[in-house]
Each structure stands twice: as structure tokens, then as C-alpha cells.
Chains A and B, each alone.
Chain A
Amino acid sequence: MSISEAMHTLDKSDVRRRRWEARTRYLKDSYILWQRNHLMVVGTVIIVFLLLVAAFAPVLATHDPYEQILPDRLASPSLEHYFGTDSLGRDIYSRVVYGARVTLTIAFLVALISTPLGMVIGVLAGYFGGAVDEVLMRFSDVFLAFPKLILAIAFAAALGPGVENAIVAIAVANWPSYARLARAETLGVRNDDYIQVIRSMGASNLRIMVGHITPMCLSSVIVRLSLDMGTIILTAAGLGFLGLGAQPPMPEWGLMVSDGRQFLVDQWWVSTLPGFAILIVVMGFNLMGDGIRDILDPHQRQS
């Protein structure tokens, strides 16, 4: 390579332009793949709808979700109360609308706690190997030895009922799978030439791990997280249903299903409608997770 060519490749504005082109092409390809995958379009629509409902809850709700109007208790669905009212005379439609916020907050916080935790542990284990790897991985094996829901329930019960503790409990049950994934990705790249080059230039271990290895783990962890999202929401709803998650009067969907159990026969809407919301949202996340996996899959991209 001649000197002028080398100068040319180091021209910053050119590099920037190429990078920009590559990124827009990537996004365009992703968009085409997204469009072709009808199920994923359905999933995306559901999730966008959920986000909008959560954002505009005060506008969409027809009643105060906490206001009890006892004379109107257990009213059947009507124009006044779209989904009827519960045993305390609260408007179920408004509670389902506000419940979107609760569900999204739980899912978001669980993701925010468990993925960084799993990634730190996984990258450390993969990067250093040897004893560090052995200890950290046996530690995560122990958590994987419990069925997730049981572990989450046990921690939720031990920490005391409440939505914050439920979030911690679900995160505790979830991080090991991200740790394993991050470790596998780290093992794949840690001896690559580019890492050797950066190391020979004097980069510290911390810098290599944070700046050059973690980004390589990101896409597979995101795929895994998007596939897990539905399960996280189901677990949270299950905890709420058992009385170990969100506590009354919070408009949490699982808790609302449980509240309506005793009125199941004559006032079916109290339990079934909030439960239906869980089903739809979890389905949306599952469809979207499958789609994200397909879009980020290089085999699919080439075709």
C-alpha cells in the first residue's frame, strides 16, 4: 500500500461518510426484513400501542383508576364503564389502561437490572478465564438450578411482598442466562487479532472489556432479552396474582385477575378482561422478540 493510499484511508471525513453509509444501509435492510415479517409487524403494532396507552393513560382513562364508587360495584360492561367495574366500584377499563404503565415499568426495570449484571459477570468470566471463570460460572449455575418462577417467588416472599421486591426477585432469577451468553460471546472474540492489537497499543483490561468486548456481546444479549420480555411480564403477573408482587390498590393486571376470582361466575369481566390484556401484551413481545432475532441473524440478512 502506498503512502498516499494510507493517507486516504485515514482521512477522517471519508471514514465517517462510509460508516454513515454502512449504518443507513443496515437500517434499510432491517426495515425491509421487518416489513416482510408480517407477524413481527403485528407484534410491533401491539407494543407501540402499549407504549402509547401507557404514555397517554390520563387522556385515555375515563375514570380515576383508584376512585371507589361503592354503589356502582360489579357493574357489567356498558358505555359508562367499558369493561365494567370491580368489587370496589373502580372502573376496570381505566385500571387496565393504567396497568400498562405498571407492566412496562416492571419489565423495563427488570431488564435494566438483570442485563448489565449478567453482562458484567459474563464478560469478566470469559475475559479472565481460569479460576475467575470457574467461580463465576458455578455461581450462576446455582441460580440456573432453580426453575425461574420458583426462585423469583422465593425471593419475593423472602424480601416481602411489593412491586419493588418483585422486580429485584425477577431480576435475580434472570441474570444468569445473560451471563452465560455474554461469556460465550467473550470467549469468541477475546483472542481475536483486533483485541491483540489494542492490547499491544497499551489498552488496559478494563478498557478492552468495556470498549471492545462488551459491544460485541450486546446484540445477542438484546435478542435474548427481547425473547425473555414476555416471560418477565408473565412472571410479574404471576407474582401479582399470588399476592407476592404488586399490592392493592395498584392497578397491576395479575393482581386484578386475582381480585376477580371470587366473582368469576356472575361477574366474569372482573377477572377475564385484565387477563386478556396480559395475553395480548405478552404475545406482542414474543412476536417482536422472534422477529428481532430473525432480523439480527446474519443468515437471514444475506438472503
Chain B
Amino acid sequence: MAHYVLRRLVTLMITLIGIMVVTFFISLVVPLDPLASIAGPQAPQETVDRLRVLYGFDKPIYVQFGRYIQRLARGDLGTSFQTGRPVLADILHFFPATIELATLALIVSILVGIPLGVLSAVYRNSPIDHFSRVLSLIGVSMPVFWLGLVLLLVFYFKLGWLPEPGRLDIMLVEPERVTGALLIDSVIARDWEVFGDALRHMVLPATVLGLFGLAGIARIVRSSMLDVLSQEYIKTARIKGLNELLVLTRHALRNALVPAVTVIGLTYGGLLEGSVLTETIFSWPGLGRYLATAFLTLDLNAVVGGTMLVALTFCLVNLMVDLIYAFLNPKIRYTES
């Protein structure tokens, strides 16, 4: 197991270097001349030349890349044109809102997706199976930005049951920032009004993301449950007179969940990318919306920094999933010890 963890960590390091190369490449191919935007359109040639030397754009690409790595090592992602603040500070400011939303959506999709997948497999070809399969199909086929708009139209504009886009009512004051996650911070501050309002603001975006997530989870749980239920040991468990609920939970579900772990990890990555569109629709002040604006205004440092951070998070989640998977799967757990 230790050997396995070590090997995964080495692969992660290689991938991280690759991520830096790709993001550096992205900043290279941008057709916009960064000097022109710093110096302004009317700047005389000598100013541009001096800036070129100042920012190191006169150096060969590998020297520029070396400097870029050096800056990254110091945690310096440059300054955002959008906000005028260091990109790292921006990201740390916006990231908790995204994590909070994505995590809530993931919890929703696990809580709904796993039971749905199990029921679907146990009562195969019954109405509940059809319902769950249609729901999964809609979940994977739905353009999230469109679903967001339709839900806003119905539940905010027409019915008025849920609050406007955003994270908190403008009349409410955000509690003191501890974690950056409003639900947690408001509990710490014992501000129940903020807690309730923040939760109500999360219903729609979390539903949109959650539908996408539960589709994948319900699908994999259904198919791995069907696989497991046809195994001999399930027959044995039934023959020896075990209660059906115990057969399903202790013998079937535990094994069926092992492949589901991988999909849940991938789903979290999917929720992170879905946040770019969802946050744009729901004016959610998170990393997704920050990135979308950065992409549109070609705020290069923010683009590079944000993309890198999302990729890093994605890799760490995948690493965690692989480790959990290895831990749950005795075939991997015992081979190398």
C-alpha cells in the first residue's frame, strides 16, 4: 500500500509539471500582445521596448518558462487586471464559495443517486427503474446553463418561491469570514437568519449541479449492483436464509460501491467545471464566475492561475479517489505489502 501511494505521488508530481507547461503554453498562444495592453495603444516604441525588457519578454522562451516556474514556486501568480489584486488572493477569496456549492451538490447527488441506483437494480424493469433511467438520461443530456435559466424563470420570477440569484440577500450582513463557506461561517457566528437565507440561495444552483451529478452516480450504482447481484455469493447468502435487506446492504451494496467511488471522484471534477456555467447563471461569487470573466476579458494571469488551481484540485480529488479505491479493494490493498 505504501509503495502504491508513493508511486501515485510521483505520477502526481509529473502531472503537475505537465500542467505548468500546458498553462504556460496557453499564455503563449494568446493572440493579444500583453505589452500593448500594459503600455496602452498610444505608447511610443521605446516605452514598449523598455517594458519588454522589464517583464522579460525579450528573453528566449525557456528562460521565460524558468522564470514562470520560479514565480509559481514562490506562490506568485501575478496580478489580475480585473480586480487589480494578486491572483492568488483572488482565488483564495472566491474558491470557498465554489467548494461549498460543489460539495453540497455532491452530497445531494450521492444521497439521491445511490438509493436510486440500488432501487433501479433491485426492481429491474419496474416503473422505478424506468424513472431512474430517464432521470439519468436527462441529467447527462441537460445543458446546465439552460436548466439554470428555466429554474430561475419558474421558481424565482414566476412563483417567487426561491430567492434571486446571488449568495445572500443584500439586506443581510455576511458573518465574520472563518472558512469562507457561508453555511459554516453562519453556524459559527450563530446567525441563523443568514444560515437559512444562504441555504435558500443554494437550492437552485445545487439542484442544477446535483442533477448532473446524480445521473452518473445512479447509472454506475445500477450497473455494478446488477453485476454483484448475479454473483454466486449473493445466492449463497440468500440460501443460508439471510434477511433480504442484509443481503442487499451488507453483501451487495458494499461491493457495488467500490466502482462507484471512482465515478463519484470524476463527478466532483465535473461539478467543478459545471460551476463555470452555473455560477455565471446564478451570479454566484465563486471561482467559476471569476474564471468565466477572466476568460472573456483575457485576464491572462487569472486565466492561468485559475486553470491551474482547478486542475490541481481535480488531480488531488483523483488521487484521493484512487487511494480510497485501493483501500476498499483488497486486490490492490494486499498485493504490494
Q: Are A286 and B145 in contact (CB under 8 A)?
A: no
Q: Are A146 and B22 in contact (CB under 8 A)?
A: yes
Within 8 A of B (CB), among A113-169: 138-139, 141-143, 145-151, 153-160
B297 — nearest CB in chain A belongs to which residue? A157
Residues of B within 8 A of A154 (CB): 23, 26, 295, 303, 307
Tell me the smallest distance from the CB of B92 to a CB of chain A, in Å.
18
Q: Are B15 and A242 in contact (CB under 8 A)?
A: no
Given A141-B15, A147-B273, check contact A242 B307 (CB 8 Å): no
Q: How large is the interface on A (under 10, 10 to 19, 20 to 34, 35 or more residues)?
A: 35 or more
Query: How many angstroms between the C-alpha atoms of A97 and B69 in the bound complex?
Result: 49
Main secondary structure of the interface of B (DSSP, over half): helix
Q: Are B15 and A241 in contact (CB under 8 A)?
A: no
Within 8 A of A (CB), among B302-337: 303, 307, 310-311, 314-315
Q: Are B311 and A150 in contact (CB under 8 A)?
A: yes
Which of B18, B269, B274 is A138 in contact with, Cβ under 8 Å?
A: B18
Q: Are A138 and B14 in contact (CB under 8 A)?
A: yes
Residues of A within 8 A of B152 (CB): 264
Within 8 A of A (CB), among B152-202: 152-153, 157
Residues of B within 8 A of A139 (CB): 18
Q: Are A257 and B141 in contact (CB under 8 A)?
A: no
Interface stretch among A50-58, A71-79, A194-202, A271-279? A271-279
In the complex, which of the residues B23, B142, B145 has the most CB atoms of chain A within 10 Å of its own CB atom? Answer: B145
Tell me the smallest distance from the CB of A248 to a CB of chain B, in Å.
14
Interface stretch among A17-25, A60-68, A180-188, A230-238? A230-238
Query: How many angstroms between the C-alpha atoms of A159 and B30 in the bound complex?
Result: 6
Q: Are A146 and B314 in contact (CB under 8 A)?
A: yes
Given A244-B296, A272-B150, A286-B137, check contact A147 B31 (CB 8 Å): no
A287 in contact (CB, < 8 A): yes
Query: How many angstroms between the C-alpha atoms of A25 and B273 in the bound complex?
Result: 45
Q: Are A145 and B277 in contact (CB under 8 A)?
A: no
Residues of chain B at the chain A interface (Cβ within 8 Å): 11, 14-15, 18-19, 21-23, 26-27, 29-31, 137-138, 140-146, 149-150, 152-153, 157, 269-270, 272-274, 276-277, 280, 291-292, 295-296, 298, 303, 307, 310-311, 314-315
Given contacts A147-B270, A237-B145, 19 further A-B contacts (CB under 8 A): A138-B14, A138-B18, A141-B15, A143-B22, A146-B311, A147-B269, A150-B273, A150-B291, A153-B291, A154-B295, A159-B29, A234-B141, A238-B145, A242-B277, A264-B152, A272-B149, A275-B146, A275-B150, A287-B137
| Cβ-closest 10 pairs across A and B | A142-B18, A275-B146, A147-B273, A157-B295, A149-B273, A283-B141, A282-B141, A158-B26, A146-B311, A278-B143
Report 17 cross-chain contacts, Cβ distance below 8 Å, ordered by A residue: A139-B18, A141-B14, A141-B15, A146-B19, A150-B310, A154-B26, A157-B295, A157-B303, A230-B140, A234-B141, A241-B145, A242-B280, A242-B295, A264-B149, A264-B157, A275-B150, A283-B138
